[in-house]
Amino acid sequence: MRFVRNFGLHQPDRTPCGQSLPVSEAHAMVEVAREGQIRQVELARRLRLEKSTVSRLVTNLVGRGWVHREAADDDGRGVLLVLTDTGATAAAGQADARRNRLTALLDRVPDDQRGAVVRALQILAEATVEPS
């Protein structure tokens, strides 16, 4: 619990790297920026959120001017999400803030223990994946 609190994971309207942005929106921005464009249903799958939750989340990102929706070429009902220029700038700023926070955090871990900490986090992340 101390790690969750100290790292800020319990603050839903602020990312652990200090951005005034709901964590779910920050994660959505990572996925859209990584792909360049992504189907809204795929975003829901990756974030492990309900379609209605992602729809509201995307509406917020559209309202910020960071994302716009397009009809998918191959499916009239499909929704494609694309970063705007403003969104690309915001995503890059978020990535910088994330990198800076994690670098500062790892810099406070003793050099001889850093590799073990990173490996432990990788193992922990893998352990959270539900078996199919």
Q: What strands lie across the sheet with 67-72, from one edge to the other?
A: 37-39, 75-83, 67-72
pTM: 0.84
Residue 116 lies inside a defined structural domain of this protein: no
Q: Is the pLDDT of residue 60 over 90?
A: yes
Average pLDDT taken over every residue of the chain? 91
Residue 110 lies inside a defined structural domain of this protein: no
Residues 68-91 pLDDT 10s: 999 887 776 789 999 999 999 999
Residues 83-117 pLDDT 10s: 999 999 999 999 999 999 999 999 999 999 999 99
**Strand spans (E) along the chain:** 37-39, 67-72, 75-83
Long-range contacts of 41-50 (CB under 8 A, 24+ apart): 41/78, 41/79, 43/81, 49/24
Domain count for the chain: 1
Residue 120 lies inside a defined structural domain of this protein: no
Query: What is the extent of the structural domain holding 34?
Result: 2-104
